[in-house]
């Protein structure tokens, strides 16, 4: 008589700890660079906050455009980002939390208090970010339901994009042109998402053809004629 053995539990490997750890190391490195570059304590922490914010933005953008990128031009890179979008988002949250620490330290050292608009908009961004972090798991998806979960994360992504873009736009309009590439990157990301949505709505089945498939289709169509 043989006894049945339970099937082994398959655990999905995740890069979340590694990506979050790497993000934390990079953010701490940005703080070190800022502290080394500044002349006075307040300037040092201001630079630390600025550099960590830039790093957080660069980690945020691949997550923001992942779906649109993969729909318009699927590739090994886009599929890698899509598959690990949750882990990349948590890595961004790690960096942005370190940025919050650097920014708070700057305000304490400089003896400044952000204006009410900054506190409301910026504070709302962090509140939204942490709401997304707390719901970045399968259990939260089941509790909230797919539609409500998607609505929360879609709103959060656009709100965070707005805060970054608005901040960089204000600096560019104020004459700080070194922020222009960051603003251009933010606008390009929004444009990519708008393009993917427009193309998707124009398809009868709601699917977006990849650039490769679109070019193949055009060739097939021309040969058929």
DSSP for 11-40, written as a single string? PPP--HHHHHHHHHHHHHHHHHHHHHH-SS
pLDDT of 14: 79
pLDDT of 45: 97
pLDDT higher than threshold 80 for residue 214: no
Spell out a b/e string for 187-209, using b for 16 or more CB atoms within 10 Å of the CB, else e: eebbebbeebeebbeeeeeeebb
Spell out a b/e string for 21-47, using b for 16 or more CB atoms within 10 Å of the CB, else e: eebeebbeebbeebbeeeeeebbbbbb
- How confident is the model over 30-39, as a mean pLDDT? 96
pLDDT higher than threshold 70 for residue 11: no
pLDDT higher than threshold 70 for residue 206: no
Query: Per residue in 93-151, pLDDT tens?
Result: 999 999 999 999 999 999 999 999 999 999 999 999 999 999 999 999 999 999 999 99
Gyration radius of the chain over CA positions: 22
- How confident is the model over 161-186, as a mean pLDDT? 96
Kindly state the percentage of the chain with pLDDT values over 90. 81
* Contacts of residue 86, Cβ cutoff 8 Å, sequence gap at least 6: 16, 136
Cα–Cα distance list, 182 to 23, 55, 66, 91, 187 (Å): 19, 11, 18, 19, 9
Structure token digits, residue 60? 């945020």
The pTM is what?
0.83
pLDDT of 204: 54
Q: How many CA atoms lie within 13 A of 218 on its CB side?
A: 6
The answer to whether 165 and 183 are in contact (CB under 8 A) is yes
- Location of structure tokens 């790093």: 55
Query: Per residue in 177-190, pLDDT tens?
Result: 999 999 999 999 99
């Amino acid at each position: 008589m043989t006894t049945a053995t339970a099937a082994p539990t398959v655990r999905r490997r995740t890069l979340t700890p590694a990506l979050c750890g790497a993000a934390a190391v990079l953010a701490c490195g940005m703080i070190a660079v800022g502290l080394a570059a500044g002349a006075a304590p307040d300037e040092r922490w201001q630079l630390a906050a600025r550099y960590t914010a830039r790093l957080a933005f660069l980690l945020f953008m691949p997550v923001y455009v992942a779906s649109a990128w993969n729909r318009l031009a699927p590739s090994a890179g886009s599929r890698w980002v899509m598959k690990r979008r949750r882990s990349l988002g948590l890595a961004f949250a790690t960096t942005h939390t370190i940025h919050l620490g650097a920014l708070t330290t700057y305000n304490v050292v400089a003896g400044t208090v952000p204006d009410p608009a900054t506190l409301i908009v910026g504070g709302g961004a962090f509140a939204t970010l942490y709401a997304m972090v707390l719901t970045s798991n399968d259990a939260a998806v089941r509790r909230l339901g797919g539609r409500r979960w998607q609505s929360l994360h879609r709103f959060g992504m656009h709100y965070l994009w707005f805060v970054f873009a608005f901040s960089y736009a204000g600096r560019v309009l104020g004459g700080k042109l070194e922020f222009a590439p960051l603003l251009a990157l933010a606008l390009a990301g929004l444009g990519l998402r708008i393009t993917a949505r427009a193309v998707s709505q124009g398809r009868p089945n709601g699917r977006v053809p990849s650039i490769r498939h679109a070019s193949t289709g055009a060739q097939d169509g021309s040969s058929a004629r």
